[in-house]
Amino acid sequence: MARTGKDGKVRFGLIGCGEIAMRSLEAIQKDKECSVIAAVQDVNEPLAKDMGAKASAPYFTDVAKLFEIEDLDAVVISTPHFLHAPLTIQAAKAGKHVACEKPIACTLEQADEMIAAG
Protein backbone atom coordinates (compact mmCIF):
# COMPACT_ATOMS: atom_id res chain seq x y z
CA MET A 1 0.00 0.00 0.00
CA ALA A 2 1.35 3.40 -0.95
CA ARG A 3 1.90 5.81 1.89
CA THR A 4 0.88 9.37 1.18
CA GLY A 5 1.73 10.97 4.50
CA LYS A 6 4.73 13.27 4.60
CA ASP A 7 5.95 11.18 7.49
CA GLY A 8 5.80 7.96 5.43
CA LYS A 9 2.92 6.52 7.43
CA VAL A 10 -0.21 4.84 6.10
CA ARG A 11 -3.07 7.25 6.78
CA PHE A 12 -6.30 5.52 7.83
CA GLY A 13 -9.86 6.74 8.10
CA LEU A 14 -12.29 4.99 10.41
CA ILE A 15 -15.87 4.69 9.16
CA GLY A 16 -18.17 3.87 12.03
CA CYS A 17 -17.12 4.84 15.54
CA GLY A 18 -18.83 2.23 17.69
CA GLU A 19 -17.34 -0.42 19.94
CA ILE A 20 -15.79 -2.52 17.15
CA ALA A 21 -14.03 0.54 15.71
CA MET A 22 -12.25 0.99 19.04
CA ARG A 23 -10.32 -2.22 18.31
CA SER A 24 -9.16 -0.81 14.98
CA LEU A 25 -8.20 2.46 16.64
CA GLU A 26 -6.14 0.62 19.26
CA ALA A 27 -4.40 -1.55 16.66
CA ILE A 28 -3.51 1.38 14.42
CA GLN A 29 -2.30 3.46 17.34
CA LYS A 30 -0.03 0.60 18.49
CA ASP A 31 1.83 0.80 15.17
CA LYS A 32 2.78 4.48 15.45
CA GLU A 33 5.86 4.07 13.28
CA CYS A 34 3.88 2.94 10.22
CA SER A 35 0.30 4.15 10.58
CA VAL A 36 -1.87 6.97 11.82
CA ILE A 37 -5.58 7.76 12.08
CA ALA A 38 -6.13 10.67 9.70
CA ALA A 39 -9.90 11.07 10.22
CA VAL A 40 -12.98 9.36 11.61
CA GLN A 41 -16.63 9.32 10.53
CA ASP A 42 -19.94 8.33 12.00
CA VAL A 43 -23.48 9.58 11.37
CA ASN A 44 -23.84 9.87 15.14
CA GLU A 45 -22.00 13.13 15.84
CA PRO A 46 -21.29 12.51 19.54
CA LEU A 47 -19.69 9.15 18.67
CA ALA A 48 -17.68 10.70 15.85
CA LYS A 49 -16.54 13.60 18.02
CA ASP A 50 -15.49 11.27 20.85
CA MET A 51 -13.57 8.96 18.51
CA GLY A 52 -11.93 11.96 16.85
CA ALA A 53 -10.73 13.14 20.25
CA LYS A 54 -9.37 9.67 21.10
CA ALA A 55 -7.60 9.50 17.73
CA SER A 56 -6.44 13.13 17.75
CA ALA A 57 -8.04 13.35 14.31
CA PRO A 58 -10.77 15.37 12.64
CA TYR A 59 -14.24 13.86 12.63
CA PHE A 60 -17.05 13.93 10.10
CA THR A 61 -20.71 12.92 10.05
CA ASP A 62 -20.77 12.87 6.23
CA VAL A 63 -18.71 10.01 4.79
CA ALA A 64 -18.29 11.89 1.49
CA LYS A 65 -16.24 14.50 3.36
CA LEU A 66 -13.92 11.79 4.65
CA PHE A 67 -13.44 10.44 1.12
CA GLU A 68 -12.44 13.93 -0.06
CA ILE A 69 -9.24 13.77 2.00
CA GLU A 70 -6.64 13.35 -0.73
CA ASP A 71 -3.85 11.90 1.38
CA LEU A 72 -6.09 9.31 3.05
CA ASP A 73 -4.68 5.92 2.05
CA ALA A 74 -7.23 3.47 3.43
CA VAL A 75 -10.43 3.14 5.42
CA VAL A 76 -11.57 0.64 8.00
CA ILE A 77 -15.31 0.06 7.75
CA SER A 78 -16.89 -0.83 11.08
CA THR A 79 -20.55 -0.19 10.43
CA PRO A 80 -23.67 -2.36 10.47
CA HIS A 81 -23.15 -5.07 7.85
CA PHE A 82 -25.88 -3.84 5.48
CA LEU A 83 -23.71 -0.74 4.91
CA HIS A 84 -20.51 -2.64 4.08
CA ALA A 85 -21.14 -3.00 0.34
CA PRO A 86 -22.20 0.58 -0.44
CA LEU A 87 -19.42 2.07 1.70
CA THR A 88 -16.76 -0.23 0.25
CA ILE A 89 -17.83 0.61 -3.29
CA GLN A 90 -17.86 4.33 -2.47
CA ALA A 91 -14.38 4.06 -0.92
CA ALA A 92 -13.02 2.17 -3.93
CA LYS A 93 -14.42 4.80 -6.29
CA ALA A 94 -12.64 7.42 -4.18
CA GLY A 95 -9.37 5.52 -4.65
CA LYS A 96 -9.05 4.28 -1.07
CA HIS A 97 -7.91 0.86 0.11
CA VAL A 98 -10.54 -0.87 2.25
CA ALA A 99 -10.53 -3.11 5.30
CA CYS A 100 -14.03 -4.22 6.20
CA GLU A 101 -15.36 -5.88 9.32
CA LYS A 102 -17.16 -9.17 8.82
CA PRO A 103 -19.43 -10.25 7.35
CA ILE A 104 -18.17 -8.65 4.18
CA ALA A 105 -21.67 -8.28 2.73
CA CYS A 106 -25.27 -9.46 3.00
CA THR A 107 -25.23 -11.39 -0.28
CA LEU A 108 -22.74 -13.00 -2.62
CA GLU A 109 -23.77 -10.50 -5.30
CA GLN A 110 -22.85 -7.59 -3.02
CA ALA A 111 -19.49 -9.19 -2.23
CA ASP A 112 -18.82 -9.61 -5.95
CA GLU A 113 -19.71 -5.93 -6.54
CA MET A 114 -17.34 -4.92 -3.74
CA ILE A 115 -14.50 -6.94 -5.23
CA ALA A 116 -15.17 -5.59 -8.72
CA ALA A 117 -15.12 -2.00 -7.43
CA GLY A 118 -11.62 -2.46 -6.02
For 3-62, write each residue's pLDDT tens digit. 566 778 999 999 999 999 999 999 999 988 899 999 999 999 999 999 999 999 999 999
77: pLDDT strictly greater than 60: yes
Instruction: Look at residue 85 and give its three-state secondary structure.
Output: helix
Dist CA 93 CA 54 (whole Å): 28
How far is CA 94 from its chain centroid? Answer: 12
Beta strands in the chain (DSSP E): 10-15, 35-41, 59-60, 74-77, 97-100
Is this structure's pTM higher than 0.85? yes
User: What's the confidence (pLDDT) of residue 118?
Assistant: 84
Q: Which long-range contacts (CB under 8 A, 24 or more apart) does 48-51 make?
A: 48/17, 50/17, 51/14, 51/17, 51/21, 51/22, 51/25
The mean per-residue pLDDT over the stretch 93-99 comes to 96
